[in-house]
Structure 1
Amino acid sequence: MEVIQRFCKIYTDICKISTEDLNEIYSQNIVFIDPITTHRGLDAVKSYFSNLLEQADTCKFNIADILECAPSKCNVTHIANWTMTLTLKGSDRVITLDGTTQLGVKDDIIIYHKDYYDLGEMVYEHVPLLGFVIKKIKGRLAK
């Protein structure tokens, strides 16, 4: 099974994996970037996932597309478009979020992973007062 297939399998339901499963897809020197921070190295990514696994009741990704990229200088070889469904422990609220991931694959292992998604939609809009304000601002900007 190629690394992209292994990636899709692992991300089907993050809460059903162990952090050791990440060895199957990420290199020791992985650079993993999301809108919150950058993680450098497999141990840092495992720590990030360990924290996620402690907080999430469910975290599933429906990967709609995996697009292979033409060779370039930026090391991006694949683009994944996805929808994440997340439920935190102790909460009935389901967070659904669309996003895109740039992946860099070399020698059948992922060396680069960068996520793009709306952090406001994922986090800020779910904080009671702040969420109300952000939704009002978005509504005004959409007019």
Structure 2
Amino acid sequence: MNAREHTAHVATFFEQLTPDSVQQLPQFYAADARFKDPFNDVRGLPEIDRIFRHMYVALDQPHFVVTHQLVDGDQAFLVWDFRFRFKRFDTTTWQTVRGSTHLQFNAQGLITLHRDYWDAAEELYEKLPVLGGLMRWLKKQANQ
């Protein structure tokens, strides 16, 4: 499989991810892979597995929609929308977090680095009760 095909396969995996398919992570990630996002910085499959499984505990119907894929050698960038509903706050409104993922692959085509980039303040905190009002106020103050 060439790099573009491999990246497309990874993107499809993320788009079709379910609580049951999380067990397929070893088919995509190296055993000592690193995962970093605004809330986590972990190494190893057990920790990455824990993060993905927690997503299904914390959120209602979380899923990714990959909108763009960029490939350069052993690296790729996925641009995505992460869609979900809160379980405890506004449980009926679909939320969207827009972000991207930088992936690095080893010679076997397994992910060795998964780094998510998204703005936690704008994409998440502003949507939360109480904290959202404070974040919007701080943003307004910073822009004056």
Supply the distance in 1 between the matched residues of 2:119 and 2:11 (Cα, whole angstroms): 21
Matched residue type, 2:15? T
Supply the distance in 2 between the matched residues of 1:17 and 1:65 (Cα, whole angstroms): 25
Matched residue type, 2:38? P
1:2-24 Cα offsets, whole Å, 9 max, x none, are: 54233212211433543211122
Aligned to 1:26: 29
1:65-118 Cα offsets, whole Å, 9 max, x none, are: 111135xxxxx7111111111123352232201101110011211111000001
SS at match of 2:14: helix
Aligned to 2:102: 102
Contact 1:13–1:58 at 8 Å: present in 2 too?
no
Say yes or no: does 1:10 pair with 2:13.
yes
Supply the distance in 2 between the matched residues of 1:137 and 1:89 (Cα, whole angstroms): 26
Where in structure 2 are the equivalents of 1:121-136 lying within 5 Å?
121-136=122-137
Aligned to 2:119: 118
Q: 2:71 aligns with which of 68, 88, 110?
A: 68
SS at match of 2:84: strand
TM-score by length of 1: 0.83
Which stretch shifts more, 35-44 or 49-58?
49-58
Q: 1:47 to 1:16 in 2, by over 3 A?
A: closer
Structure 1: segments with no counterpart, 5+ residues: 71-75
1:32-70 Cα offsets, whole Å, 9 max, x none, are: 000112110001111111211222221221211111135
Supply the distance in 1 between the matched residues of 2:115 and 2:86 (Cα, whole angstroms): 23
Q: How well do the aligned residues superpose, as a CA RMSD in angstroms?
A: 2.1
SS at match of 1:128: coil
Contact 1:104–1:112 at 8 Å: present in 2 too?
yes
Contact 1:77–1:103 at 8 Å: present in 2 too?
yes
Q: 1:87 aligns with which of 85, 88, 111?
A: 85
Contact 2:62–2:84 at 8 Å: present in 1 too?
yes
Which stretch shifts more, 116-125 or 29-38?
116-125
Aligned to 2:60: 57
TM-score by length of 2: 0.82
* Count of residues in Structure 1 that have an aligned counterpart in Structure 2: 138
Q: 1:95 to 1:46 in 2, by over 3 A?
A: same
